[in-house]
Amino acid sequence: MNLNTAVASVTYRIGDVAYERVAFASNPDQVIVWRVSANRPGCVSFKAALKTPHGGVRTAVKGDALAFFADYEGDWKKERLGFEARIRVVADGGKVTVANDFITVENANSALLTLAAATSFVNFRDISADPSARCDATMAAMAQKDFPTLLKTHLTDYQKLYQRVAIHLGSTAAAGLPTDERLTQNQTRTDPALAALFFQYGRYLLIASSRPGTQPANLQGIWNARMNPPWDSKWTTNINVEMNYWGAETCNLSECHEPLFDLIDDLVISGQKTAQAHYGARGWVLHHNTDLWRGTAPINASDHGIWVTGGAWLCHHLWEHYQFTGNKEFLAKRAYPAMKGAALFFTDFLVKDPKTGWLISTPSNSPEQGGLVAGPAMDHQIIRSLFANTAAAAGILGVDQEFAAKLIEMGRQIAPNLIGRHGQLQEWSLVDQDDPNEKHRHVSHLWALHPGTEITPATANLFAAAKQSLVFRGDEGTGWSSAWKVNLWARLLDGERAHHLLQTQLRPVLNKEWSGESGTYANLFDACPPFEIDGNFGASAGIAEMLLQSQSGEIVLLPALPKAWPTGRVMGLKARGGYAVDIAWQDGKLVSARIQSLLGNRCNVRYGKEVRELKFGEDKTFNWLCK
C-alpha cells in the first residue's frame, strides 16, 4: 500500500509469468478499481464473483456486468434499506463471459475490473432512492474510461488533500521492514519513521472515509466486515466520534470535517424532539450515541446513556472549524444556528444547586464511570465552552445580543473546576471523591485541557491538578484512550510522556476481541481491541499537538518535542487564526519556521520562552530563523 497514491498493489509469479494486481477506490468516480496484468500476452485468466453474508440477495446479469441486490418486494421496499453492487470486467484481448454466478476471463493480456455499489438511502427520513438506477449512472459514466484515466482522476483528487502535509521525524534501518516486525522492534528500538507513518496513515484514513457528501467516519471508519459489528459501527459521542475529527483542521483536511457537520444538521432536527419530549426544553440535545437514523435519546445503561452533552461537544467542532478557517458564511449559516440551539437547551436544563448556588448539570454521567450523578465536571466544562463560543459567535455576527449576554452571565454561574484533596482535578463538581488508584480508560474531567481550551499553563493551579489526575489514571488503556493521553500530555508540554503513550499505542496486538489492551494491528489499524478507528485519528492529532499548538491565542512551535525525534521537519500543519505552518528542527532545537497567514491575521509566535510578533512580508509570510 502506497499512502502517497492510495493505491495497493501486489506482484507475484506463477511459473515464468509475472503478474501484477493494482487496486484503488476512486472518490470522484465512485468505484473500486482493480487491474490484473501479466508480462506475457494471453496469460490472464480468472473467475470473478460477488459474495455477501446478507440474506435475501440474488444475482443477475445486467448488460455487461454482474450484479447482486436486495430482493425485497412490496412493502419491504418501503421498510428496509435496499442495495445493489455491480461489477464489470473489460479485458485487453482474450474473452469475457458474464454468467449468473460469475464473470469468466480467458487468455487476456490484462483485465480492468470496476465495482459500483449503492443503497436506497436518501437521508434519515427517506429511503426511497433506486440503488439500481444509481449503479446504472455510475457504470454509464465508467463506460469509456480506461485504467490510466481512472488512475489519473483518482490521484488528482486524493493527492490534493494528502500532499498538503509532509512529515519527517528521522529514520532507522527498521523503516525497510514489514509493519508487523516494525511494531515489535519499536518496543525496544525506537522507530521514528513509524510514528511519521502512523501520522500520515491517520490522515489517509480520514481522506478515505470522510468526504463531502458521505456519512462521517464511524467507530470503524468505513472498514467493517461483520454483520454485527462492534458497537454497531455507530457514532459514540462521549469521546469517540469527536476524536475521529481532532486532526481534521490541524492536519489540513478541513473538507473532511464536512460530513460531521452534515450529521450535526440532522441531529438538530431529531434532537429538538428529544429535548421537548424528555426535558420539556427548547433547543436540541444529543446523548452519548447516534446512528444512521439520527437517534438522540438516551440508550443503553443509565451509568453512561443518560449523558446530555453529546450535542454540545459536537458544536465544539463547528467553532473549531471557524477558528481555523475564518469562514464567516459557515459561521452564520451552519455553525451558529446549531450552537445557539444547543446552548438554548442548557439555559433550560441547568439547575441551581441548593447547597452551593452554582448552576449544575443533572442528571448526567461522567463518561463512562461513576453512575448517574449531579454535577459532572466534564458537562460543566463543555457547557461553559459552548456558552462562551456561542456568545463569541453572536458578537462576530452582530446578532442576539441579549441572548449572548445571558449565556455569558450563566456561564459565570456554572460550577467551576475544583481541585480535590489529592491535588487532582475533581471529576465531580459537588463531591471530592476521586480515587487516586482509579485506572479507568476515560479521562472525561480533563476535557477542559484537551480538546477544550479552558485549562492552560496560564491557569497554573488547574494545569497542575489536571496533570495530577492524568498521573493517577496511568498509561494503560484501550487504543483510543492512549491516543487521548498523547494529546493531553502534549497539552501539558511533556513530550517524553506523550511519546511514551504513543509507543504504548505502537505495540503489536494479536487479540481481536475486547481485552482493554492498547496497541495496533499489523495493518496499523488501532486496537481497542477489537478494531476501533478513533485511536488512529487521535494519534495523528496527538503528533500534531506535539509539534504545533495554537489554542491559547498564540502559535507555539515544538511545544512537546520528545528526545526520540531529535531532527526533523513538518510542512503544512494548520493553526487557529488561519495559518499554515512549516517547522524544521535539529538536535532537539528549532532551526526555522515558516508561517503563512491565509486570512491576513496577526498574532504572536512562541518557541520555549521566546515570543516574537508576527510581521509579514508582501506574501503574508513570516519566517523564524534561528542562528
Residue 468 is assigned to a structural domain of this protein: no
What angle do helix axes 336-349 and 310-325 make, rounded to 10 degrees? 150
Q: Which of 317, 269, 332, 251 is nearest to 573 (CA)?
A: 251
Q: Check whether residue 436 and residue 579 sit in a common domain.
A: no
Q: Check whether residue 420 and residue 278 sit in a common domain.
A: yes
Contacts of 160 (CB under 8 A, 6+ apart): none
Written as nine digits, the cell of 299 is: 440508550
Burial 177-193 (b: 16+ CB within 10 A, else e): eebeebbebbeeebbbb
The CA distance from 554 to 531, in Å, is 37
Q: Which of 474, 480, 475 is nearest to 526 (CA)?
A: 480
Query: Residues in the chain, how many?
Result: 627
User: What are the contacts of 298-307 at 24+ separation with CB within 8 A?
Assistant: 302/365, 302/371, 302/372, 303/365, 303/368, 303/369, 303/370, 303/371, 303/372, 304/238, 304/365, 304/367, 304/368, 305/365, 306/363, 306/364, 306/365, 306/372, 307/238, 307/364, 307/365, 307/367, 307/379
The CA distance from 573 to 601, in Å, is 17
CATH of the domain at 335: 1.50.10.10
The pair phi, psi for residue 524, each rounded to 5°, is 75, 10
| Torsion sign over Cα 119, 122, 123, 125 | negative
Paired strand residues for 115: 32, 87
State the pLDDT at residue 303.
Answer: 81
Strand order in the sheet with 548-549: 548-549, 554-557, 604-607, 610-613
Residue 191 Cα distances to 197, 251, 422, 498, 522, angstroms? 10, 22, 37, 15, 15
Q: Give CA angle at 336 (333, 342), nearest 5°.
A: 130
Domain region containing 385: 254-441+453-459
- What is the radius of gyration, based on Cα positions, of the chain? 26
The CA distance from 521 to 493, in Å, is 29
Q: Alpha helix (H) ranges present in 43-191?
A: 76-79, 131-142, 147-162, 179-185
Residue 193 is assigned to a structural domain of this protein: no
The CA distance from 410 to 387, in Å, is 8
CATH of the domain at 127: 2.70.98.50
Q: Check whether residue 574 and residue 429 sit in a common domain.
A: no
Residue 527 is assigned to a structural domain of this protein: no
Q: Which of 501, 532, 496 is nearest to 514 (CA)?
A: 532
Structural domains of the chain, count: 3
Q: Walk along the chain (627 residues) in steps of 10 and give the mean pLDDT of each run.
A: 96 95 97 97 95 87 89 65 94 93 95 96 93 95 93 98 98 92 91 97 98 97 92 94 98 98 98 98 97 94 90 98 98 98 98 96 91 94 98 98 98 97 95 90 96 97 97 91 97 98 91 72 92 96 98 96 97 97 97 94 93 83 86
The CA distance from 34 to 30, in Å, is 13
198 — alpha (psi -120 to 50), left (phi > 0) or beta? alpha
Residue 383 is assigned to a structural domain of this protein: yes
Written as nine digits, the cell of 627 is: 542562528
Written as nine digits, the cell of 626 is: 534561528
Distance of CA 209 to the CA centre of its chain: 9
Residue 103 is assigned to a structural domain of this protein: yes
Written as nine digits, the cell of 624 is: 523564524
Last residue of one domain, picked from the residues 131, 166, 199:
131
Cβ atoms of residues 443 and 425 within 8 Å: no
User: What single DSSP character describes residue 430?
Assistant: S
| Torsion sign over Cα 149, 153, 159, 162 | negative
Residue 69 is assigned to a structural domain of this protein: yes
Last residue of one domain, picked from the residues 115, 131, 147:
131
Q: Cα dihedral angle (437, 438, 439, 443), rounded to 10 degrees?
A: -130
Last residue of one domain, picked from the residues 99, 131, 163:
131
Residue 555 is assigned to a structural domain of this protein: no
The CA distance from 173 to 155, in Å, is 29
State the pLDDT at residue 215.
Answer: 97
Residue 514 is assigned to a structural domain of this protein: no
Cβ atoms of residues 614 and 622 within 8 Å: yes
| Torsion sign over Cα 612, 617, 620, 622 | negative
The CA distance from 616 to 363, in Å, is 51
Q: Check whether residue 274 and residue 408 sit in a common domain.
A: yes
* Residue 549: count of CB within 10 angstroms of its CB: 25
Q: Check whether residue 261 and residue 126 sit in a common domain.
A: no
